[in-house]
Amino acid sequence: MYVIERHNDPATPGARDTVGGWPILPAGEPWPLCFCGERMILFFQFDIPADIAVFGGDHLLVFQCPTHNDAVVAKGVSDQLPPRFWDTPPPLYTAPGAFWRIMLHRDHTSPTPDPDEYLRPRRLDFRPATEQVTLWWPGEALSDGQDLDSAFTDHGIGLPEFKIGGVPSWIQGRESYTCPCGDNLVYVCQIPTDTGFDKHHHRPEQPDTFRFGQYGLFLGNETYVLACPAHCHPAAAWPVNQN
């Protein structure tokens, strides 16, 4: 597991591990637009360290609309996500369409010529860390024959850090989703509650902000990013929001 650390040093064009800055997009993918037509903000991007299971070596990018700031909560609890859920998500309580886009890829593409216009571009670093898993047991006993390892897998929660890998901290319990390609989405990284990113001074405050001077993802909900292990599409990734 790696804890993601934010620096005050500005990010420069071509930097791969950044808040804001110049996105390194998958081949053939344009800068993402919200359902409302606005160009999305690049909140952050980074190269996933090589020793992270399944996604090590991928480049991850997380975008959200500057205007649409909502939680991603689907109506009707189904673990099967619909075809092209990244463009047309299942019906949401808060928005009529996708106001975020999360992408992973290994393409040899260049940074875009122009940077994100909302966030102050900053460098990210990664610190190897040890996960601490707590066994959370809501009134259940170990079932017959279940060993402690599988109990941790089924019921364990990790630290509420800004982190890559490890175990999600699942405030409201584990959630799992199936990609339209048939694979089960796999946890990649986690963004803690009320993680704010400094905006450029001349930009307006974010609608429904939790902290003036900063923009946040998904109303500040804790977010667990799950993605398709088969990499069936660069945007086959789903943000689980909990609080």
- Choose, by CB under 5 A, the member of 219, 236, 237, 240 that binds Zn ion: 236
103 near Zn ion (CB under 5 A): no
| Alpha-carbon Rg for the chain in angstroms | 18
DSSP secondary-structure letter at 233?
A: S
> In angstroms, rounded to a whole number, what is the distance separating the alpha carbons of residues 27 and 64?
20
Cα 2–Cα 52–Cα 65 angle in degrees, nearest 5 = 70
- Choose, by CB under 5 A, the member of 179, 191, 217, 219 that binds Zn ion: 179
68 near Zn ion (CB under 5 A): yes
What six digits make up the tokens of 124? Answer: 């990210």
At 169, is the secondary structure helix, strand, or coil?
coil
CB of 136: closest distance to Zn ion in angstroms? 29
25, 49 contact by CB (below 8 A): no
> Which of 24-32, 37-45, 130-138, 147-155 is the region at the interface with Zn ion (rule: CB under 5 A)?
37-45
209 near Zn ion (CB under 5 A): no
184 near Zn ion (CB under 5 A): no
Number of shown-chain residues binding Zn ion (CB under 5 A) = 13
CB of 91: closest distance to Zn ion in angstroms? 17
What six digits make up the tokens of 88? Answer: 């047309």
- Residues near Zn ion, by CB under 5 A: 34, 36, 38, 65, 67-68, 99, 179, 181, 228, 230, 232, 236
